[in-house]
Amino acid sequence: MISESTTSTPRNEPGSFRDPDNQVFYADGAVLRGLGPQAASDWAAVRDSAFLTPLMAAGKVVATETVEQGDLPAAVADRWTTVLRHERVPFVSYPYEWSFAQLRDAARLHLEVLDAALADGVTMTDGSAYNLQWRGVDPVFIDVGSFQPAAAGEPWAGYRQFCQTMLYPLMLQAHLGLDFQPLLRARIDGIESGQMRRLFRGARRWRAGVFKHIHLHDAMQTRHASASTGSVRAEIRDAGFSTELVRATVRAVAKLVDRLDWAPPGSHWVDYQQTCTYSDADRTAKTAFVDVELAAHPPGTVFDLGANDGTYSRIAAAHAEQVVAVESDPAVVDHLYRRLRADGQRRILPILMDLADPSPGGGWAGDERTSFTARARADTVLALAVIHHLAIGRNVPLPRVLDWLTGLLPAGGGTGQMIIEFVHPDDPMARQLLANKPAGLFPDYHRAEFERLLAERYEITRREELPSGTRTLYAGVPRG
C-alpha cells in the first residue's frame, strides 16, 4: 500500500479520457489511475489473481499499488472510488516510433499477458498497442484498468484493436516490405481491415495469416455492420463460444506473430560507422570527449540524436539512468534494437523518428498523443554529426536548429548539458551535402557563425577540434 500523500492539483493525461470510469492523471510526480464504481469492482476482483503478481514481479505488467483514500485530497477521493499508483516508465513513446522488431515484441507481450489472464478467468477489454511502453528494450503492459473478470461466451474484446495497431502493421512490413510507421502516425486507431484487404488481393491473400485475419475479419465486420454489439455477442454465445476458444485463438495469433519477420534492406546508414569519413584518431578523440563529459556530469536521461548504431548511446548508458536513442532509418533502428536485446543492454530505448519531422501531437484536439517535443526532456543531449544534416540536408536555419535542441533540456537555463558536434563546410560529408544544393545557399554555415549562435544560447565549458581539423566538439550549459 502507499502511504505517501498526494497534495498537488491533479493533471489529467490527455490520452486517457475515452473511458470515464478509468482515467490516468498525475500529481506530485506520481502516475495515478482513478477508477469509478465498475472499474473499481473489476480491479478488486482481479488484483489478487494468480496471473497478475508474477507478471508484475517479472516487470511485464507495470507495478501498481492502491493509494489509501486518506492520503488523497478531497477532490480526488470524492471523484474516484479507488485510486491506483503506477510505476513511472522512463520515457513515453508511441508505436509509430518503434521498429518492426519492437512492435513484434510488444505484440508478443500483449498476447502473453492476455493468455495468462484468460487462464485465470480474467480478460482484457482493450487490445491497443498504445497500452504498452518500454523500459529500455523491455516492453511493459501499462493498462491494468483493462483487466476484468471474463464472462462465459464472450469473444476476444480487443481483437480488432490488436489487429489494427499491431498485427496489420506487422503484416504490412513482413509480407510487403512497407514501413508501417507513417500509417500508424496518420491514424490513431490503426489500419482498417478494409484497407488491408485491398492491399492483399490475388495470390497475396494466401500469405501467412492474411485470409483469416484480414479477409474473413473484414467480411465479418461488413456482415455485422448494422448489428448492435449486444446482439453480436449474443449470437457468439449461442454458437457455443468459450474462454478456451478465445485462448486457442490468442495462442494461434501468437504463433502467427512469431512467424512474421522482416529482414531490413541494405542501407547507407546501417554501415555508417565503417563508411563514414572519420579517421581512427577522430573516432578515438570523439569517444573520449563524450565519455569524459558524461562522467563529469552524470545525467539521469540522455537523448542521443542521430544515434545510428548506438556507439555513443552505449557510452552514455555507462553514466546515465536511461538513454533515448533517436534515429530516422528504420533498418538502423531495427538492427540497434535487436543488438541491444541480444547484448542484454537495458538502459537504452531506440526510437524511430526524423528529427526534421518529429512526431506531432495527434488524436482528439491534437494532444491525445503528445508531440515528441512536448514529451522530450533530457539532462544531456548528444547532437553528434547531426547539425549539418538538418542545416544543409534539410534547409533548417542554424538558429532554429539550436533553439529546438535547447528546448529538449530543462526549462529555465543553467541546467542540463548539450554535447554538440559542428561539421565544418570543408569536411567531406558537408561538401557532399553542399554539392546537391545551389551555390551560395548557406552563407552562414561556417564555424564562426555557429560558435556565435552557440555562445548566445550556452555557456561553452569545453571545445575540442578533432584531429582531422574539419569537425569541432562543444560542451555547454544553457544560459539562464
- Could you list the pLDDT tens digit for every one of the 480 residues in the chain? 233 445 567 889 999 999 999 999 998 889 999 999 999 999 999 998 999 999 999 999 999 999 998 888 887 888 999 999 999 999 999 999 999 999 999 999 999 999 999 999 999 999 999 999 999 999 999 999 999 999 887 889 999 999 999 999 999 999 999 999 999 999 999 999 999 999 999 999 999 999 999 999 999 888 866 665 665 566 556 555 678 899 999 999 999 999 999 988 776 555 555 556 678 999 999 999 999 999 999 999 999 999 999 999 999 999 999 999 999 999 999 999 999 999 999 999 999 999 999 999 999 999 999 999 999 999 999 999 999 999 999 999 999 999 999 999 998 777 899 999 999 999 999 999 999 889 888 899 999 999 999 999 999 999 999 999 999 999 999 997
Q: Rounded to whole angstroms, how far apart are CA atoms 412 and 85?
A: 29
Backbone angles phi, psi at 325, to 5 degrees: -100, 110
CB contact at 8 A, 338 and 101: yes
pLDDT value for 3 = 33
pLDDT value for 225 = 67
pLDDT value for 83 = 95
Distance (Å) of CA 310 to CA 95, 303, 333, 368 = 20, 11, 9, 30
CATH number assigned to the domain with residue range 272-478, chosen from the 4 options 3.30.1200.10, 3.40.50.150, 2.40.10.10, 3.40.50.300: 3.40.50.150
CB contact at 8 A, 89 and 133: yes
pLDDT value for 230 = 61
pLDDT value for 402 = 97
Q: Rounded to whole angstroms, how far apart are CA atoms 403 and 420?
A: 13
Nearest to 368 by CA among 233, 189, 114: 189
Q: Which three cell numbers stand for residue 476?
A: 555547454
pLDDT value for 10 = 84
Q: Rounded to whole angstroms, how far apart are CA atoms 470 and 117?
A: 58
pLDDT value for 409 = 95
pLDDT value for 2 = 33
pLDDT value for 267 = 60
Q: Rounded to whole angstroms, how far apart are CA atoms 433 and 405?
A: 21
CB contact at 8 A, 126 and 164: no
Q: Which three cell numbers stand for residue 324?
A: 533515448
pLDDT value for 1 = 28
Nearest to 319 by CA among 342, 293, 289: 293
Q: Rounded to whole angstroms, how far apart are CA atoms 34 and 19?
A: 11
Contacts of 280 (CB under 8 A, 6+ apart): none
Q: What share of the chain is helix, strand, coil (3-state, %, to 5)?
A: 45, 20, 40
pLDDT value for 118 = 95
* Residue spans per domain, the chain: 11-88, 110-259, 272-478
Residue 125's Cβ-count burial label (10 Å; 0-12, 13-18, 19+) is middle
469: left (phi over 0), alpha (psi -120 to 50) or beta: left
pTM (two decimals): 0.93
Backbone angles phi, psi at 57, to 5 degrees: -60, -35
CB contact at 8 A, 358 and 332: no
Angle at 216 between CA 213 and CA 217, to 5 degrees: 60
